[in-house]
Amino acid sequence: MTGHPDVPAPLRIVVADDQASVREGLVVLLGLVPEIEVIASAANGEEALRLVADKSPDAVLLDLHMPVLDGIETTRRLTEQYPGVAVVVLTTYADDSSVLAALQAGARSYLTKDADRADIVQALRSAATGLSVLDPAVRATLLAAATSPPKKPPGQRLPEKLPDGLTLREAEILSMIARGMTNPDIAAELYISAQTIKSHINRIFAKTGSANRTAAIRYARDHHLG
């Protein structure tokens, strides 16, 4: 008699993250867990979709902000094309729009990158059996969004077409910067963490070519965003 029928087969997963250091770190970290088998890794959403088609994993662990095809659209396509593959989001961002967009797209679980290995393994195993796992920061964000009064409209209506690839959330934050709001003010207004605000602002500076807040404010005014 060969094998051990009472021992479940390892969970086969694909890891998708555009940061090589993070991606490789996750592959090594999860490779040490006997019940997990990392069968492939991807640097963007399109690559993740190709690997899922080729490898038929049980679950995909993916970041939201990736080039070529972002995590939200990747999640949506995975859910439509491969409904049996569980999607677990592991990202820096725990703001309400990111969480809701990912869950609406079909993600079964949502973790932030301060989750430890045990949390990630539990989320992958639960998602593969159809259950959802949200880490405490994400639950708190959703609760705050659900119980808060409607947000006041911004001081200025944002244009429909945004310049330089800015997302709606980035334009909103840039507009708030232009109105003189500090990072803590913006975090409190949008119910997101100070670290998430910093990440958004770094991307805003990169997209707008702004070296500092003063340059970003000038950009916002030149483009009718503040």
pLDDT of residue 150: 47
In whole angstroms, give the CA distance from residue 144 to residue 55.
39
Q: What is the pLDDT of residues 73-127, one digit of tens each?
A: 999 999 999 999 999 999 887 766 778 788 888 999 999 888 889 999 999 999 9
Q: What is the CATH number of the domain that holds 218?
A: 1.10.10.10
Burial group, residue 54, by CB count within 10 angstroms (0-12, 13-18, 19+): exposed
| Residues spanned by the domain of 21 | 11-144
Q: Are residues 175 and 132 in the same domain?
A: no
55 pLDDT band, cuts 50/70/90, is: very high
Give the DSSP letter of residue 204. H
pTM above 0.75, yes or no: no
Q: Which stretch, 37-51, 87-101, 121-135, has highest mean pLDDT?
A: 37-51
1 within domain boundaries: no
149 within domain boundaries: no
